[in-house]
Structure 1
Amino acid sequence: MPYQVTIEETGERYTCGEQENLLIAMARSGRRGIPVGCRGGGCGVCKVEVTAGDYETRAMSCQHVTEEDRAERRLLACRVFPRGDVSVKVLGKMHKAVCTNAGLRPTEKTKI
């Protein structure tokens, strides 16, 4: 069953299947400039904050995702699998790519 993923900064929506991670679905949606990095939870370039919705995660580098990050739902999109509709804020390198491509200016408040 596909779920809706909303990128809060731009209002964009895309679908993501249960067996798909948020990063792969975002790239599949045709979005240009998405940093995909290692796709295995090790490089940290696809960091997002899940602001709403249910999900499951797989292992990711504790160098890029601390226990505090996990508690605040700041995770790597390549290791997040939706279990319902979700909303995300994009962080770090992902934030820069998404906001620049949408014609928005990155803000200090949303950088992590």
Structure 2
Amino acid sequence: MGAEFEVFNQTTGDRFTCKEGQSVLKGMEQVGIRCVPVGCRGGGCGYCMIKVLSGSYECGKMSKRHVPVESMEKGEVLACRIYPKNNLVIECQPSM
């Protein structure tokens, strides 16, 4: 049985769990949280942008157009392409 990590959205107060190797976006979707707009789910469209305030994660491939190095250094990443390595605190705006 793999590890599970808690993700806390500081903006809305929502909490959800991600299994090891599961993207933050997939964890949100499994519990019905609609924190960000969803597009391609592959790191190319830039819709599911969040900011990681604390915790560590692994990044999958993301479009440099939507997530330049400067953004990544500030923790601004795509929810579909990050995989928690421990508990995370994130910020995101609810989709309209």
Structure 1: 5+ residue stretches without partners: 101-112
Task: Name the counterpart of 1:13.
Answer: 15
Extract unaligned runs of 5+ from structure 2: none
1:81 aligns with 2:83: yes
More strand by share: 2
Aligned residues: 94
Shift in alpha-carbon separation, 1:33–1:55, aligned structure 2, 3 A: closer
CA-to-aligned-CA distance 1:51-79 (integer Å, 9 cap, x gap): 00010001100010011101101000000
Which has more helix, going by share of residues? 1
**Distance of 2:12 and 2:35 partners within structure 1:** 15
How far apart, CA to CA, are the structure 2 residues paired with 1:22 and 1:15?
9
Q: Scaled by the length of structure 1, what TM-score is found? A: 0.79
Q: Is the 8 A contact 1:27 1:34 kept in 2?
A: no
Q: Which of the numbers 36, 39, 45 marks the counterpart of 2:38?
A: 36
Task: Tell which structure's C-alpha radius of gyration is larger.
Answer: 1
TM-score normalised according to structure 2 size: 0.91
Q: Distance in 1 between matches of 2:23 and 2:35?
A: 17
For the residue of structure 1 that corresponds to 2:91, the secondary structure is strand
1:32–1:55 Cα change, 3 Å: closer
Structure scoring higher RCO (CA < 8 A, sep ≥ 6) equals 2
Pick the aligned partner of 1:70 from 66, 69, 72.
Answer: 72
* CA RMSD in angstroms, aligned pairs only: 1.4
